[in-house]
Structure 1
């Protein structure tokens, strides 16, 4: 049975923004204070993998143009929003089938890899906590300045080839990316052959590819029941990419500052939806909306916003204080899931003390 969790609102003055290792391209301030209620160092942190230089080169070689084209979204749609109903997950959005020559992706315990999300009757949506006056923000192509800070994350889980979205996050060494937890591990399968392609624009890769050397997530996500609210609340992952020619990811593409215990705000959500009726699969899209809390019987303490970004956007950044002229902003969450009875609402985990510990471990690895 899924228990509804009550989310405590954090006063605006408690928000903590971390911009380490000097001024990042999109970082305006540096903060050293830690959020209240932090857990001990390393608590709730799971190191998933370490990949040596040879393994990273193998990952870069693995992702041929044909395999890149065959990758499918690994996003989550959570069902069982009715009181007491168990949760399940299936693919978010409507990715197009892979090319005929593509090997069939293997099914996993919590995500399907092809086809539509289950079509269920939409029940009445609860209204408590929803910001009134907001309409659903229809995903559309990003037409502002190029955003090399956001990109596509490719990886394998088992025999399947998958894709998510990730973003460059400020850190002392400038090598951290943020994404969803289910993009680095799901259903007992840790992701392999991870490659980050920042600034993907159609088939063009203007910033090239960065191989991933280490991946981290929360212990709550990795070891918990990933169909439960208790795990979904911590569906966050971080990864370290290796420098190229002595230049860090941040020095190459910039990086977003990251905030913890951030108050509800107006956010811009970015992602690379997979191929569908409304997306070509290789174009950055976005929604803009006001955050509210998960008020359904699903029971998470996640933040939510009215946005219909489709499959492939998992792990995409939620940014507050976005400057349309520059694309700058502060990372406050990542795309996690959508309920199957209301695909027009996206949910993202709160970045609290546990997520801060995972980020800190990754940033100092």
Structure 2
């Protein structure tokens, strides 16, 4: 659910688990027959493919991304999208400023300026961010990747008070790249223009893996609904439940909120909580239900690769 001028159809994008229409790509392996009389050595077992795909951005690309995303351009991209009125489930966030949550700006694979939501998390390299895989690349299309990616933590009404951090690497499950499943991503950002690492500036939220589904969840995001149009955070609160192989909460955040955090044990007084998932998609038939992946072993592999990059 990135927000673009033409993203209305993307916001309620069809997912197998949301619609019951799972379409999987099928590959036919063509193997040459070996004559019965031939003697061949036993082949060594093929190495298992790395379950994590890595998209890298060169230093020159990161510099270009910082130059591209001026404050004026960040403001303009929000004005270019209107996905209808906010709510009723999503409400303006009026608690303490959330320095770890911000807007993730990028140019999508069709060349349009757009954004998602992302969260700075605790990591060994003090530079990791969690978001949705579809904010990085198009599902089931390995060559369609996004570019000019920068993270603006704490973004609010045209201002990036804690700086802007260019994305150096983006990790996604290979299953997303090939089959459009497991919609989550971990990013690694470079230091800001003053050489400061991300979580040294804004801190980082803890991430939980293999947590049982359930309990009250707060989901946040920079939805492209009006009047906010991506300029300030919105929040949904609801109980998570297992739903067609993943989890869902009652929420009507829309395009631009993709990748936004799902916090468990969230304190509206301190703004602290534990990250347990990210906004993935709305149910195409029930657009007041938001899906998020269950963070299990694969999500942990994505995160671990990012925090050590």
Q: What does residue range 1-365 of structure 1 map to in structure 2 within 5 Å?
A: 43-48=50-55, 50-71=56-77, 97=80, 138-158=89-109, 159-187=111-139, 188=141, 189-224=144-179, 226=180, 231=181, 234-244=182-192, 245-264=194-213, 265-274=215-224, 276-294=225-243, 300-365=244-309
TM-score (norm 2): 0.78
Change in 2 beyond 3 A, CA 1:43/1:260: farther
Change (3 A) 1:2 1:272: closer
- Provide the alpha-carbon RMSD of the alignment: 2.4
Separation (CA, whole Å) in 2 of partners of 1:42 and 1:362:
18
Bigger drift between 156-165 and 352-361 goes to 156-165
Shift of 1:311: 1.5
Kindly indicate whether the alpha-carbon contact (under 8 Å) linking 1:141 and 1:286 is maintained by their aligned counterparts in 2.
Answer: yes
Q: 1:268 to 1:236 in 2, by over 3 A?
A: same
The alignment covers a number of residue pairs equal to: 260
Question: d(CA) in 2 for partners of 1:59 and 1:278?
Answer: 28
Q: Per-residue displacement from partner, 1:319-355 (whole Å, max 9, x unpaired)? A: 0011222111100000000112211111100101011
Question: CA deviation digits over 1:256-292, x for unaligned, max 9?
Answer: 1100111122111010111x33533200111111001
Unaligned runs of 5+ in 1: 6-39, 73-95, 99-113, 117-135, 295-299
Kindly state the Cα deviation for residue 162 of structure 1 after the two structures are TM-superposed: 1.2
Q: Distance in 1 between matches of 2:155 and 2:49?
A: 33
Partner SS for 2:295: coil
Alpha-carbon offset, residue 2 of structure 1: 5.1
Greater mean alpha carbon deviation, residues 243-252 or residues 336-345: 243-252
On the 8 A contact 2:71/2:159 being kept in 1, the answer is no
Separation in structure 2 between the aligned mates of residue 41 and residue 278 of structure 1, nearest angstrom? 49
Uncovered stretches (5+) of structure 2, i.e. residues with no partner: 1-14, 22-46
Shift of 1:43: 3.9
Does the 8 A contact of 2:66 with 2:166 survive in 1? yes
The separation in 2 between residues aligned to 1:42 and 1:207, in whole angstroms, is: 38
Residue 137 of structure 1: how far off its partner (Å): 6.9
Separation (CA, whole Å) in 2 of partners of 1:174 and 1:41: 30
| Cα distance between partner residues in 1 of 2:115 and 2:229 | 14
The higher radius of gyration belongs to 2
